Amino acid sequence: MKNIIYITFIALSFISCDDYLDIEPVGQVIPESVDEYRSFLTSAYSIAKDHKVLTTYRTDELALSSTALGVEQYEDLFIWNDDNPSPLTRVFPYASLYNTIFYTNHIINSEATIKGDLLEKEQLIGEAYALRAMQYFELVNLYAKPYNKSTANTDTAVPITIEYDAEKNYPVETVEAVYTLILNDIEQAEALLNIDKQDLGYNYRFSKVAIKAFKARVYLYQQEWQKAINAANEALAIHADLQNLNTDVSIMPSEYNAVESILALETIANFDMVNNTTISSDLVDAYNQTEDLRFSLYFNQNTDGSFSSNKSAETKFKISFRTAELHLIIAESLAELDEGDLAKEALIAFAENRYTVAGWDAFKTKVNALSGDSLTNEILEERRREFAIEGQRWNDLRRTTQPKLTKIFNGVIYTLQQNDTRYVIPFPSDAIINNPNL
Amino acid sequence: MRNLICLLIFIPSLLFAQQEKVIEGKVIDAKLQMPIVGASVYVSSAIIGNETNTKGVIQGSMLGTTTNFDGEFSLKIGTDIKFIMVSYMGYETEKVDVSSITGNISIALKESLESLQEVVLTGYQKIEKRKMTSAYAKVDMEDINQAGVASVDQMLVGQLAGVVIQPTSGGPGAPAKISIRGTATLNGSSDPLWVLDGIPLEGNDIPQDFRDKDNIDNLQSYPIAGLNPEDIESITVLKDASATSIYGARAANGVIVVTSKKGKKGAMRVNVNANVFVTQKPDFSKLNLMDSSQKVDFELFLAGRSDLNYQQDRGGVARILNNYGEYNNYRDNGFASISTNAQNEINNLKNTNTNWGDELYQMAVNQQYGVSISGGNDNNDYYFSVGLFDEKGATKGTGQKRYNITLKDNFKINDKLKVGVALFGSQNKTSSYITGADAYTNPSYYARNANPYLQIKDENGNYVYDPDLVERSDLNLDYNILEERENTNYDLVSSSLKAIFDVDYQLNDDIHFTTQLGLQLDFDKTEKFSDEASYYTRKYEQRSQYLTGSGVSYYMPKGGIIQNWDADAFQYNWKTTANYNTSFNDIHELDVMLGTEFRRNDRTEIHAKGFGYNSNTLTTVPITDERALTNALFETYNKTYSENAYASFFGTASYTYNKKYTVFGSLRYDGSNLFGVNPKYRYLPIWSFAGSWNVYKEDFMDNMDAISDLKLRASYGVQGNIDKSTSPFVIGEYYNTSILPGVSEEIIRALNAPNGNLRWEKTTSSNIGLDLGLLNNKIYISGDYYSRKSTDLIGLRSVPLESGYNFINTNWATVSNDGFELSINTTNINTPNFKWTSGLNISHNKSIVDDIEIREEDFKPSLKGYSVNAIFAIKTAGLDSNGLPLFWKDGNKVSAVEFYNLEAGTNGSQLTREEHRNLYSYVGDGTPKFSGGFRNNFKYKQFDLRVLTNFNIKQTVKTTPSYNMALAQPGNNYNTDILKAGTGNYPALIGLNSPGFDTDLVYTWFNSSDDGQTYNDLDIWVKDISYLRVSSIKLSYAVAKSKLEKLNLSSLSFNIEGRNLFVVGTDYDGFFDPETYGSLYAQPIPRIISAGFNLSF
B14 pLDDT exceeds 50? Answer: no
- Asked whether the beta carbons of B65 and B267 are under 8 A apart, the reply is yes
d(CA B943, CA B1054): 10
What are the φ and ψ backbone dihedral angles of B463, each rounded to 5 degrees? -65, 135
- The residue of A21, A261, A429 whose CB has the most chain B CBs within 10 angstroms, and thus the best one to mutate to test that interface, is A21
Average pLDDT (B119-139) is 83
pLDDT tens string A5-27: 555 554 554 456 677 777 777 78
B400 pLDDT exceeds 50? Answer: yes
- The residue of A43, A46, A89 whose CB has the most chain B CBs within 10 angstroms, and thus the best one to mutate to test that interface, is A43
- Of B1036, B1029, B1030, the residue nearest B1057 (C-alpha): B1036
Sign of the CA dihedral running A149, A155, A158, A160: positive
Pick from B645, B737, B755: CB nearest A166: B755
| Confidence label for A341 from pLDDT (cuts 50, 70 and 90) | very high
d(CA A114, CA A106): 11
Q: Which residues of A236-245 are buried (b: 16+ CB within 10 A; e: fewer)?
A: beebeebbeb
Give the pLDDT confidence score for residue B63 in this predicted structure: 67
Average pLDDT (B284-303) is 90
d(CA B200, CA B190): 16
Percentage of chain A lying above the pLDDT 70 cut: 96
Chain A residue numbers with beta carbons less than 8 Å from the beta carbon of B800 are 159, 166, 169-170, 434-435
B6 pLDDT exceeds 60? Answer: no
Confirm or reject contact between B631 and chain A (CB < 8 A): no
Chain A residue numbers with beta carbons less than 8 Å from the beta carbon of B799 are 166, 434
Rg over alpha carbons for chain A, rounded to the nearest Å, is 25
- CB contacts < 8 A, A to B, total 180
- Of A263, A276, A277, the residue nearest A49 (C-alpha): A263
| Confidence label for A224 from pLDDT (cuts 50, 70 and 90) | very high
Confirm or reject contact between B630 and chain A (CB < 8 A): no
CB contact under 8 A, A164 and B738: no
Percentage of chain B lying above the pLDDT 70 cut: 93
- Asked whether the beta carbons of B810 and B756 are under 8 A apart, the reply is no
| CB proximity under 8 Å: B 791-830 to A | 798-806, 808, 810
Query: Closest-CA residue in chain B for A96?
Result: B804
Does residue B1042 sit in helix, strand or coil? helix
| Confidence label for B211 from pLDDT (cuts 50, 70 and 90) | low
d(CA B833, CA B829): 10
Task: Give the residue, B652 or B378, on which the prediction is more confident.
Answer: B652
Give the pLDDT confidence score for residue B1033 in this predicted structure: 93
| Confidence label for A229 from pLDDT (cuts 50, 70 and 90) | very high
Pick from B417, B647, B804: CB nearest A98: B804
Chain B closest-CA separation from residue A315 CA (Å): 6
Does residue A331 sit in helix, strand or coil? helix
Give the pLDDT confidence score for residue B87 in this predicted structure: 80
Give the pLDDT confidence score for residue B2 in this predicted structure: 45
Chain B residue numbers with beta carbons less than 8 Å from the beta carbon of A22 are 673-675
Run of H or E including B820? strand B807-830
CB contact under 8 A, A165 and B673: no
Average pLDDT (B594-614) is 92
A237 pLDDT exceeds 90? Answer: yes
Q: Which residues of B731-755 are buried (b: 16+ CB within 10 A; e: fewer)?
A: bbeeeeeebbbeeebebbbbbbbbb
Give the pLDDT confidence score for residue B1009 in this predicted structure: 78
- Asked whether the beta carbons of A124 and A113 are under 8 A apart, the reply is no
Strand partners, B813: B793
Pick from B556-560, B610-614, B628-632: least confident: B628-632
| CB proximity under 8 Å: B 585-604 to A | 596, 598
Task: Give the residue, A98 or B73, on which the prediction is more confident.
Answer: A98
- Of B637, B624, B613, B631, the residue nearest B555 (C-alpha): B624
Run of H or E including B749? strand B745-750
Residue B501: CB atoms within 10 Å: 15
Give the pLDDT confidence score for residue B174 in this predicted structure: 84
- Asked whether the beta carbons of B1095 and B155 are under 8 A apart, the reply is no
Confirm or reject contact between B413 and chain A (CB < 8 A): no
B568 pLDDT exceeds 80? Answer: yes
What are the φ and ψ backbone dihedral angles of A54, each rounded to 5 degrees? -75, -40
Q: Are strands B20-29 and B104-109 parallel, antiparallel or unpaired?
A: parallel
This prediction's pTM:
0.81
Confirm or reject contact between B682 and chain A (CB < 8 A): yes
Pick from A139-148, B590-599, B794-803: least confident: B794-803
Task: Give the residue, B996 or B666, on which the prediction is more confident.
Answer: B666
Write down the ipTM of this complex: 0.91
Residue B849: CB atoms within 10 Å: 22
pLDDT tens string A55-71: 999 999 999 998 887 88
- Of B992, B996, B973, B988, the residue nearest B1020 (C-alpha): B988
Chain A closest-CA separation from residue B649 CA (Å): 11
Q: Which residues of A169-201 are buried (b: 16+ CB within 10 A; e: fewer)?
A: ebebbbbbbbbebbbebbebbbebbebeebeeb
Give the pLDDT confidence score for residue B15 in this predicted structure: 43
Pick from A17-21, B315-319, B891-895: least confident: A17-21
Question: What domains can be seen in chain A, in order of their start residue?
Answer: 55-91+239-424 (1.25.40.390)
CB contact under 8 A, A434 and B682: no
CB contact under 8 A, A24 and B675: yes
CB contact under 8 A, A39 and B745: yes
Task: Give a three-class secondary structure readout of B762-816.
Answer: EEEEEEEEEEEEECCCCEEEEEEEEEEEEEEEEEEEECCHHHCCCEEEEEEEEEE
Region of residue A338 (phi > 0: left; psi between -120 and 50: alpha; otherwise: beta):
left
Among B13-17, B56-60, B239-243, B871-875, which range has the highest average pLDDT? B871-875
Give the pLDDT confidence score for residue B514 in this predicted structure: 93
d(CA B1087, CA B534): 31
Pick from B671, B753, B800: CB nearest A170: B800
Confirm or reject contact between B750 and chain A (CB < 8 A): yes
| Confidence label for B617 from pLDDT (cuts 50, 70 and 90) | very high
| Confidence label for A186 from pLDDT (cuts 50, 70 and 90) | very high
Query: Closest-CA residue in chain B for A19?
Result: B674
Pick from A376-385, B96-105, B594-603, B655-664: least confident: B96-105
Pick from B417, B645, B730: CB nearest A20: B645
What are the φ and ψ backbone dihedral angles of B858, each rounded to 5 degrees? -65, 140
Chain A residue numbers with beta carbons less than 8 Å from the beta carbon of B903 are none
Give the pLDDT confidence score for residue B113 in this predicted structure: 56
Give the pLDDT confidence score for residue A192 in this predicted structure: 96
Torsion of CA B86, B89, B90, B92, to 10 degrees: 20
Query: Closest-CA residue in chain B for A166?
Result: B803
B214 pLDDT exceeds 90? Answer: no
Chain A closest-CA separation from residue B503 CA (Å): 11
B58 pLDDT exceeds 70? Answer: no
Among B390-399, B435-444, B624-633, which range has the highest average pLDDT? B390-399
CB contact under 8 A, A43 and B747: yes
Give the pLDDT confidence score for residue B7 in this predicted structure: 40
B337 pLDDT exceeds 50? Answer: yes
Task: Give the residue, B387 or B753, on which the prediction is more confident.
Answer: B387
Please spell the DSSP secondary structure of B653-678, one letter per residue.
EEEEETTTEEEEEEEEEEEE--TT--
B128 pLDDT exceeds 90? Answer: no
Average pLDDT (B317-334) is 90
CB contact under 8 A, B732 and A18: no
Does residue B897 sit in helix, strand or coil? helix
CB contact under 8 A, B642 and A25: yes
Average pLDDT (A419-435) is 88
Chain A residue numbers with beta carbons less than 8 Å from the beta carbon of B641 are 26
Pick from A146-150, B765-769, B912-916: least confident: B912-916
Pick from A21-25, A151-155, A275-279, A364-368: least confident: A21-25
B424 pLDDT exceeds 50? Answer: yes
- Of B485, B463, B480, the residue nearest B399 (C-alpha): B485
Give the largest CA-CA distance in chain B: 114
Average pLDDT (A130-147) is 96
- Of A82, A126, A134, A133, the residue nearest A107 (C-alpha): A126
| Confidence label for B24 from pLDDT (cuts 50, 70 and 90) | confident
d(CA B190, CA B163): 12
| Confidence label for B62 from pLDDT (cuts 50, 70 and 90) | low
Q: How far is CA B306 from CA B301, B343, B963, B990, B991, in A?
A: 10, 20, 19, 11, 9
d(CA B491, CA B562): 12
Angle, vertex CA B405, rays to CA B493 and CA B400, nearest 5:
35
Strand partners, B77: B21
B1095 pLDDT exceeds 80? Answer: yes
Give the pLDDT confidence score for residue B4 in this predicted structure: 43
Q: How far is CA B110 from CA B30, B43, B114, B116, B1015, in A?
A: 5, 19, 11, 12, 69
Average pLDDT, chain B: 85
d(CA A397, CA A143): 15
Task: Provide the CB-side half-sphere exposure for B61 (13 A, CA).
Answer: 21
B645 pLDDT exceeds 50? Answer: yes
B443 pLDDT exceeds 90? Answer: no
Residue B334: CB atoms within 10 Å: 11
d(CA A229, CA A329): 7
